[in-house]
Amino acid sequence: MTGDEPVAHQATARAMHRILYVEDNADNVAVLTTWLELEGDIEIIVASDGAQGVQAAAREVPDLVLMDLYLPVMDGFEATRLIKAQSPSRRIPIIALSAHAMDEDRAKAYAAGCDDFEAKPIVFTRLVTKIRRLLAA
């Protein structure tokens, strides 16, 4: 690119980032997916429980995972441990998402292998800042 291309073309030329969002609440999925896809360079893959999240991480190898911690079938703590234990998914950054934001919850998320933590309700601008930081690392 020379910088002379129309702005619309420059925006579409950005590299797409694939994010796996592991969440069992359909409303949360709809809202956060819409917000993130409006960023223009993010594609969302959704898994509705921890076991599906582990399978999707191995199959899709996304650039980042947003992991709800309290999920059916397998909780986000165990799903994170399994993702971080497998190759090639072990290097994928994971941001824990939880309405349980006490220090013990955060510590448990980090001990499971999460790279960051965002309390619900989500502050979108703060979450995007964390996502961008981890994607750039």
Write the pLDDT tens digit of every residue in 32-73. Answer: 999 999 999 999 999 999 999 999 999 999 999 999 999 999
Say if residue 4's pLDDT is above 60.
no
Say if residue 11's pLDDT is above 90.
no
Q: Is the distance from CB of 118 to CB of 130 less than 8 angstroms? A: yes
Say if residue 113's pLDDT is above 80.
yes
Predicted local confidence at residue 6, as pLDDT: 45
At how many degrees (to 10) do helices 124-136 and 26-37 cross?
A: 60
User: Any idea where the domains of the chain sit in the sequence?
Assistant: 16-136
Q: 16-136 has which CATH code?
A: 3.40.50.2300
Q: How confident is the model at residue 131 (pLDDT cuts 50, 70, 90)?
A: very high
Predicted local confidence at residue 114, as pLDDT: 98
Residue closest to 134 by CA, chosen among 100, 96, 79:
96
Give the 3-state secondary structure of residue 99. coil
CA distance 54 to 57: 5
